[in-house]
Amino acid sequence: MSNINYVGVLEYLKKYYGLSYKNPDTKGLTDEEKNNFLLIKKVSQETINEVKKIAEQCKKLYSLCSFSTIKWLDGTNTKIKKYLWLQMKYEKYKDIPISISLSVEKNFSKEKYYVSLEIKDNKSFPHLIEKYHLHLDIPKKEDMVYTTGNNELENFKILTENNLELKNKIQTGELKKVKLCVCIEGNKSFTNDYYDMKIKEAIKQIIPYYEYVISKI
């Protein structure tokens, strides 16, 4: 039986997604406002701790280590993020920005878990984007999807082309980045054990693509 509250993480995103936030110590807040922000902070930190449990489990099962900080506030510290993101890598490759990522997102009005092969968006690594897209050498499995864009910029899109067609679109510059993902949709009838099983399956599916790409660097 899983000790990770996957259901609670999805419920958190559903309830607090994109809400405004202020430091509870900000001057001029009413008691009601202060208590509300204290509650949001408490629930957010508890949710982050649940995501950290997933990272601990992945380290034990797959030797994947987390080298990133999981943040619940956006860059301005005034809004709840629209997603939670966990990066995992083999320790040997911790300095390479390619990872297996677990994200909790809301798109098309549904909360979902995504397990993805990811490269951190950073202009310092343009030479690695080409290496990253070598994952398209291997056709995706039936329950995987290719995506582009992200929730933060509100341009997230599921792609319907096959791997060879996407390779061509990257070469012509029509697409800049194509992610390989396994999507686990939220559903009120699903349990923590169900999400635990599906996320483990997804990570095991993504690992061969991750290993293939990092072997080419």
Q: DSSP class of residue 174?
A: S
Predicted local confidence at residue 171, as pLDDT: 94
Integer Cα distance of 195 and 184 in angstroms? 8
| Parallel, antiparallel or unpaired: strands 83-90 and 144-148 | unpaired
Three-point CA angle 175, 176, 179, nearest 5°: 90
Question: Residue ranges of the domains in the chain?
Answer: 6-215
Report the C-alpha gap between 151 and 136 in whole angstroms: 23
Considering the segment(s) 6-215 as one domain, its CATH architecture is 2-Layer Sandwich (3.30)
pLDDT in tens, 16-53: 998 999 999 999 999 999 999 999 999 999 999 999 99
Which regions of the chain are under pLDDT 70? 122-124, 151-155
pLDDT of amino acid 178:
96
Which pTM does this prediction carry? 0.92
The pLDDT value given to residue 59: 97
Instruction: Give the containing element (helix H, strand E) for 88.
Output: strand 83-90
Could you tell me the end-to-end alpha-carbon distance of the chain, in angstroms, rounded to an integer?
Answer: 39
pLDDT on residue 106 = 83
pLDDT of residue 166: 97
> What pLDDT is recorded for position 26?
95
